[in-house]
Amino acid sequence: MSTGEVSFTLHLIVGTDLDDETDPTTEWPADRDEVVAGRLVLTGRPDDPQDIEELMFDPTRVTSGIACRDDEILHAHTAAYGASYQRRTT
Judge whether 1 lies within some domain. Answer: no
Judge whether 19 lies within some domain. Answer: yes
Judge whether 82 lies within some domain. Answer: yes
For 2-61, write each residue's pLDDT tens digit: 678 999 999 999 989 888 887 878 888 889 999 999 999 988 877 776 666 656 778 888
Judge whether 50 lies within some domain. Answer: yes
Number of structural domains (the chain) is 1
pTM, entire model? 0.52
Judge whether 11 lies within some domain. Answer: yes
**Which residues have CB under 8 Å from 52's CB, separation 6+?**
45, 46, 89
DSSP string, 5-26: -EEEEEEEE---TTS-TT-TTS
Residue numbers of the domain that contains 55: 6-89
